[in-house]
Amino acid sequence: MSRIDSEIHITPSIIDRLLDNEPELTQEPLASRSRSLQEFKQAVKRDLEWLLNTRRAIKISPTLKELTHSIANYGLADLSNVNVKSVNEQHRLEQEIEQVIRIFEPRLEDTIVTLEPVLENEPALHFRIDARLKIE
C-alpha cells in the first residue's frame, strides 16, 4: 500500500458510521483509499435512491422558509398525479429533483438533472443525474 493510500481516509456518512456491519469487531479495520472511495460512492448512491424514492407527507408553505432544509421537506412531492406527457411537468420535475439533491445531498455539487428521451407508449420518465462528488 502506498504512503498516500494509507494516509488518506474518506469519512463515511453518518448513517454508515452509526450502522455496525461487523459487531464482533471492536474497532473498524482501515480500508485502502480505493476501497473507501468505492464504499463512499455506493453510500452516496444508496442515500440518493432513498432521497428520490421518499415522498413528502405534507406540502410545506413557501412562506415557511426555515423549513426548506428541514427533514419535514425531505424527499419528492407525490408523483402519482403527474402528467408525464406534459413538457411543463417534465421541466418542473427536473427542477424539483435538482433542488432536492442540492438541499439534502451535500456530498454532490454541480448537479444537473436531464430528462432522457420520452418513449411514445411508456408511462414513465427517466432522468439522468450528473454531479461532482465532494470528498473531504
CATH 3.10.450 fits 3-18+29-133, yes or no: yes
The per-type count for the chain, helices as H runs and strands as E runs, is 4, 2
**Could you tell me the residue ranges of all domains in the chain?**
3-18+29-133
Residue 129 has pLDDT above 90, yes or no: yes
Looking at residue 135, its pLDDT comes to 81
Average pLDDT, the chain: 84
pLDDT digits (tens, 9 = 90+) for 79-89: 888 888 889 99
Looking at residue 1, its pLDDT comes to 46
Q: Which residue has the higher pLDDT, 129 or 14?
A: 129
Nearest to 35 by CA among 10, 3, 14: 10
Residue 4 has pLDDT above 80, yes or no: no
Here the cell at position 127 is: 432522468
| Predicted TM-score (pTM) of this structure | 0.78
